[in-house]
Amino acid sequence: MKVPIKIPAVGESITEATVAQWVKKDGDTVKRDEIILVLETDKASVEVVAESAGRLSVKTKEGQTVPIGSVVGEIDSDGAGAAAAPASPKPTSAPPPITAKPTAPPPPTRPAPSAQPIATFSEATQPNYKIQPVTATPNVSATPNVTATPPLSPAVRRVVEEQRIDVTGMTGTGKDGRLTKGDLMGGAASNAAAAPAAKAPMAAPAKPTSLPQPKVHAGAQGTTREPMSKLRQTIARRLVEAQHTAAILTTFNEVDMTNVMALRAKYKDKFKDKYGINLGFMGFFVKAAIEALKNFPRVNAFIEGTDVLFNHFYNIGIAVGTEKGLIVPVVKNADMLSIAEVEQSIKHYAEKARDGKISLDDLAGGTFTISNGGVYGSLMSTPILNPPQSAILGLHKIEERPVAIQGKVEVRPMMYVALSYEHRIIDGAESVSFLVKIKEGIEDPTRLLIEV
């Protein structure tokens, strides 16, 4: 019995999917519930498993985009045992072409053509070597003409003798064809121009020394065309939409990370022993952001038409970079989680994202996003909104800098933070105060425990 492999429905707004990868190849024997196909939609990657055991028949190639419900292959449950039979003839058909190639006659004939270019090269260079002096003399001997000397006046003759000008072959423009001083000037200029021309063949060897001639990497230039994935197309479209439809403005501040780093260093070992994960900085920033959102609810709001939709829950999106692009899993109801639970959720979603197992539900429902460019070494940036959200917090690299502390200069671990926000509903004063609230929570982490 042949069981069709159909593109499953993966979301209400998704009407098509791209066959990203066939995990199993055409003709392979598959087991029930084994992953055979990876689909890519404009929101996430989806794995498709085999509904029955049997032989796989692929009908749609990788990279093709097909509608939801399309049949991209089938599994022949009756052909599972016949997989080994047709496989044996394939290796036996490969050796004949391999043995045929060495017996071809071209190798013996190669010496003959190689000898000809050498002979013709030596013959060609011999005449060229002799022609150069021969072609130079006819040009020189052909120009003199003793009977063509024009008549000279005494004044012109004096100039000719003093400046030793060769007037042979020159045409005079004076009376009875006599040469004038103007003719002598023109003749002298033509002689001067002729001299470099005659020496031009001698200057030919200088060409190889000119700098623009060498082309070192002429063969290394080229381009490669690669179609954008559905996920990358969606990222591009949403970023452009955010720029075109929102009034985005960014405000900056800097945070002294001394106290958080000291707290982390003090408890990181006990934290890992108890929860099995490392104590990072993201948990602190999530809790600090939630306290700031509670104080400035417009930052947690959306624009819907001409209305402002206020959210009374806190779903924090954490931007995660993957090989296929940036995705934003959402930590649901983060205000109800401890720092340890936030860290566990972030690790869970990050692993799913990098393994390509993130689901649509994992990406939905975010009200505020945090993006940490500091892990890549970014010192400062202006993050772009994740529509329809109205704000995004950008974290950056921790760097030691001299700062003034109570009238004294001290070196502290500092981080620049950036808040990009929708200026249509969030005022400048509100955005700055929001960022100051986050700064206070990080610089004095005990405030996060008592929520002040």
Among the listed residues 28, 335, 348, 423, the single catalytic one is 423
CB count within 10 Å of CB 21 equals 17
Among the listed residues 42, 348, 427, 444, the single catalytic one is 427
Residue of 376, 380, 379, 394 lying closest to 438 (CA atoms): 394
List beta partners, residue 253. 417
Find where tokens 């002799």 sit: 130
List beta partners, residue 27. none
- What six digits make up the tokens of 304? 């819907």
Is the C-alpha dihedral spanning 339, 343, 349, 353 positive or negative? positive
Q: Is 427 a catalytic residue?
A: yes
Q: Is 423 a catalytic residue?
A: yes
Strands 71-76 and 330-331: unpaired
Say if residues 80 and 54 touch (Cβ distance below 8 Å): yes
Q: What residues are labeled active site?
A: 423, 427
